[in-house]
């Protein structure tokens, strides 16, 4: 039976997830020399790197994956990094790191931390509100695969890149980068909650992670505290950032998106001060992004490369470049950057070798690749980018206003002007896919994102959110300048030093009021699609309460792990393993390269008495029970032909029935 879904179970699961995010990455990052906002921001990415690398490598070494083995890997990796760093310092290979920009006051640090905390609270409130009156079970397409994967890893200790796929693609499994599931398995193991609660706990702070990553990026590049705080608030409120990906059930992809800004933090630290410590952090960050989602590293490269372009352009113009003596020719700057990057790439490639080889094998395998082929008007795609909306019809108008201000004040970006090039490039990629998605070259170009405009909108939203945050920051600067010029302020010297803080607080409060709590209601409606598979009230969830009750009853029948339960692929019963630990014949809605026995039974099981192939498949899969639900995730597709009208057959006996589901026992 699943654990109860009450306040304390959610609180415990969220607290456990935050610990999983902070501890492994925090220990490893500290050992590698990270401090301050760089440590706080990169800790979640490094935690996913630790878990994402531990799973496959422990599987290769035949060591079970779990909290103890992850703790051992964390300590081992931290010890290696600490030793390398101390050795490099002793040999004089490392010099003190440079301050990332004008120092912030203690009050500024606290203010930015408060903005990140607000974004985390908004993110949790959005998911809790979006969950509404439904069950905690996610309803979208791939979520069942993620749910089954987390339980599989936690129960078996198999952290390999193909193991969790055996729930549906047995016996060999199927490749999938599984850092998301490996971290989730730790939350499930340590918190003792159910899989639905675990998934919700991982999802709740997703936009808060985005906010933390944005604030760390701005800090690393020397931005003002107001800019960093604004970036956190915009990230916590932008629908197209984390929330749209979550609403579609793209949970590992959403994770990759919110971690993407941290690639710039790691890259900038390495470029400003190349060394074994900064290089190790960059290599681990790259491996962590790849482990989170195959497309995350590609997206991070596209997002961050304009930073390198700006760096080389500054060298070409004879301007000061971080980490480079003045007067060095531009070709030497570019060449040195490339040469120093090579060993980092080699180390990252060796660490992530199982994922790289697995991805190559997967793309050359038989799994089908279907292009979406979107063909919307160009003007509509541009309007979506500018208004931060794609799923819901209501634009986020205040973010649009700040984006316009940010574009008009590009000169004030200074070291972050590369964001303009990043925004143009990623926005152009979205427009090409959204408007010309059926063209062959577009399908090939966008393959890492499955030719999906929704994924590319999320990627484009990263620089757009930063530009909007810059606009918000410049609006505060203008308000502070306006207020400082007032006679009554000049006449009170004690007010002069507080004008900046007062205008910043005023702007944040006004933003919160004008947007209804940083667009909480609009984002909650977006996230509700994750639970309803459609707008609330319009679509019946494919995983119904009756089906959940039937799966709970199935879990009480004492079915051993070597038996499978026959079920329909689309009616929601694929969740039975995640909810009860009972193995289904169909463990995912996706029928791509499904096992032949599963496909044959779906079409012919009703012919059990007369079809010897059906009986043979039942024996091979060791099937003794059948669970049939009601309704399917594809509203135009009924339950499989071979599983319809099973009542009355003499080879079946009903052992449980409710209005929406029935369990049969095979008696012949």
Question: pLDDT digit string (tens) for 565-612?
Answer: 999 998 889 999 999 999 999 999 988 788 899 999 999 999 988 889
Q: Is 272 within a domain?
A: yes
Q: How confident is the model at residue 365 (pLDDT cuts 50, 70, 90)?
A: low
* Residues contacting 361, CB < 8 A, separation 6+: 175
Q: Is 21 within a domain?
A: no
C-alpha span between 130 and 520 (Å, rounded):
9
Same domain, 425 and 550: no
Q: Which of 432, 450, 480 is the last residue of a domain?
A: 432
Q: Per-residue pLDDT averaged across 60-65, rounded?
A: 95
C-alpha span between 24 and 44 (Å, rounded):
8
Which percentage of the chain shows pLDDT scores above 90?
62
Same domain, 424 and 554: no
User: 157 is written with which tokens?
Assistant: 């200790």
For residue 549, the SS3 value is helix
Same domain, 269 and 400: yes
Q: Is 378 within a domain?
A: yes
Angle in degrees, 0-180, between the axes of helices 143-156 and 195-203, rounded to the nearest 10: 110
C-alpha span between 315 and 310 (Å, rounded):
9
Residue 338 has pLDDT above 70, yes or no: yes
Between 98-102, 109-113, 625-629, the lowest mean confidence (pLDDT) is in 98-102
Q: Is 405 within a domain?
A: yes
Q: Is 498 within a domain?
A: no
Nearest residue to 225 via CA among 635, 501, 596: 501
Which residue's entry shows tokens 């795609």? 381
Q: Is 338 within a domain?
A: yes
Q: Per-residue pLDDT averaged across 173-199, rounded?
A: 93
Q: Is 482 within a domain?
A: no
Burial class of 596 by CB neighbour count within 10 A (0 to 12, 13 to 18, 19+): exposed
Q: Which of 432, 458, 474 is the last residue of a domain?
A: 432
Per the CB < 8 A criterion, the answer to whether 112 and 215 are in contact is yes
DSSP codes, 256-276: HHHHTTHHHHHHHHHHHS-SH
Q: 349 is in which domain, residue-wise?
A: 103-141+198-363+371-432
Residue 2 has pLDDT above 60, yes or no: no
Say what the pLDDT of residue 491 is: 53
3-state percent helix, strand, coil for the chain, nearest multiple of 5: 65, 5, 30
Same domain, 425 and 558: no
Q: Is 310 within a domain?
A: yes
Residue, of 664 and 501, whose pLDDT is higher: 664
If one counts the domains in the chain, the total is: 2
Same domain, 292 and 413: yes
Nearest residue to 430 via CA among 465, 394, 455: 455
Pairing of strands 583-584, 564-567: parallel
User: 545 is written with which tokens?
Assistant: 């309460």
Between the alpha carbon of residue 203 and those of residues 17, 123, 253, 505, the distances in Å are: 10, 9, 12, 29
User: 200 is written with which tokens?
Assistant: 């919700």
Say what the pLDDT of residue 103 is: 84
Same domain, 261 and 115: yes
User: 362 is written with which tokens?
Assistant: 């997967």
Residue 21 has pLDDT above 90, yes or no: yes
Between 229-238, 405-414, 481-490, 585-594, the lowest mean confidence (pLDDT) is in 481-490
Q: How confident is the model at residue 102 (pLDDT cuts 50, 70, 90)?
A: confident
Q: Which of 432, 452, 484 is the last residue of a domain?
A: 432
C-alpha span between 472 and 89 (Å, rounded):
41
Same domain, 107 and 249: yes
User: 463 is written with which tokens?
Assistant: 């620089």
Nearest residue to 298 via CA among 180, 108, 201, 425: 425
Same domain, 213 and 356: yes
Residue 134 has pLDDT above 50, yes or no: no
The pLDDT mean for the chain works out to 89
For residue 300, the SS3 value is helix
């Amino acid at each position: 039976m699943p654990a109860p879904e009450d306040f304390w179970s959610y609180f415990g699961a969220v607290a456990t997830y935050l610990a999983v995010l902070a501890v492994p990455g925090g220990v490893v990052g500290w050992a590698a020399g990270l401090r301050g906002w760089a440590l706080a921001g990169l800790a979640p990415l490094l935690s996913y790197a630790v878990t994402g690398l531990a799973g496959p490598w422990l599987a290769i070494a035949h060591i079970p994956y779990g909290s103890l083995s992850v703790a051992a890997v964390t300590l081992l990796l931290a010890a290696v990094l600490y030793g390398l760093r101390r050795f490099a310092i002793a040999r004089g290979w490392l010099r003190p790191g440079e301050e990332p920009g004008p120092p912030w006051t203690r009050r500024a640090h606290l203010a930015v931390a408060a903005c990140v905390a607000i974004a985390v609270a908004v993110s949790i409130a959005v998911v809790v509100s979006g969950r509404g009156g439904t069950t905690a079970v996610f309803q979208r397409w791939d979520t069942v695969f993620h749910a089954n994967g987390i339980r599989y890893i936690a129960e078996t200790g198999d952290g390999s890149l193909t193991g969790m796929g055996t729930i549906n693609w047995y016996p060999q499994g199927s490749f999938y980068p599984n850092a998301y599931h490996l971290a989730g398995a730790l939350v499930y193991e340590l918190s003792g909650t159910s899989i639905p609660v675990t998934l919700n706990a991982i999802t709740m702070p997703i936009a808060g992670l985005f906010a933390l990553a944005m604030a760390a990026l701005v800090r690393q590049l020397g931005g003002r505290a107001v800019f960093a705080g604004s970036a956190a608030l915009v990230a916590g409120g932008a629908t197209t950032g984390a929330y749209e990906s979550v609403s579609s059930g793209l949970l590992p992809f959403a994770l990759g998106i919110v971690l993407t800004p941290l690639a710039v933090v790691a890259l900038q630290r390495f470029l400003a001060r190349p060394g074994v410590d900064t290089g190790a952090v960059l290599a681990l960050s790259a491996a962590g992004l790849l482990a989170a989602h195959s497309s995350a590293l590609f997206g991070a490269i596209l997002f961050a490369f304009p930073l390198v372009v700006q760096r080389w352009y500054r060298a070409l113009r004879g301007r000061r470049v971080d980490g480079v003596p003045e007067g060095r020719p531009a070709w030497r700057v570019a060449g040195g950057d490339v040469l120093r990057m090579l060993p980092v790439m080699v180390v990252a490639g060796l660490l992530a070798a199982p994922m790289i080889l697995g991805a190559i094998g997967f793309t050359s395998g038989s799994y089908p690749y279907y292009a979406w082929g979107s063909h919307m008007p160009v003007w509509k795609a541009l309007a979506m980018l500018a208004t931060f909306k794609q799923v819901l019809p209501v634009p986020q108008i205040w973010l649009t206003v700040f984006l316009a201000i940010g574009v008009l004040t590009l000169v004030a970006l200074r070291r972050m002007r590369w964001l303009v090039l990043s925004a143009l490039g990623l926005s152009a990629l979205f427009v090409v896919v959204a408007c010309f998605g059926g063209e062959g070259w577009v399908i090939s170009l966008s393959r890492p994102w499955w030719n999906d405009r929704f994924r590319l909108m999320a990627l484009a939203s990263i620089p757009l959110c930063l530009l909007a945050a810059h606009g918000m920051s410049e609006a505060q600067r203008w308000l502070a300048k306006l207020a400082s010029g007032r006679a009554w302020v000049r006449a009170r010297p004690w007010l002069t030093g507080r004008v900046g803080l007062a205008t910043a607080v005023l702007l944040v409060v006004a933003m919160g009021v004008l947007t209804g709590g940083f667009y909480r209601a609009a984002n909650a409606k977006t996230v509700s699609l994750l639970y309803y598979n459609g707008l609330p009230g319009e679509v019946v969830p494919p995983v119904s309460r009756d089906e959940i009750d039937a799966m709970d009853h199935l879990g009480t029948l004492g079915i051993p792990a070597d038996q499978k339960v026959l079920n329909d692929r689309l009616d929601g019963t694929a969740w039975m393993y995640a909810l009860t630990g009972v193995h289904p014949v169909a463990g995912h809605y996706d029928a791509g390269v499904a096992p032949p026995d599963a496909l044959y039974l779906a079409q012919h099981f009703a012919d059990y008495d007369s079809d010897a192939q059906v009986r043979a498949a039942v024996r091979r899969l060791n099937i003794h029970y059948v669970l049939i639900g009601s309704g399917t995730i594809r509203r135009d597709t009924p339950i499989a032909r071979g599983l319809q009208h099973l009542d009355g057959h003499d080879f079946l006996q009903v052992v449980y029935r409710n209005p929406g589901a029935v369990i049969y026992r095979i008696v012949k």
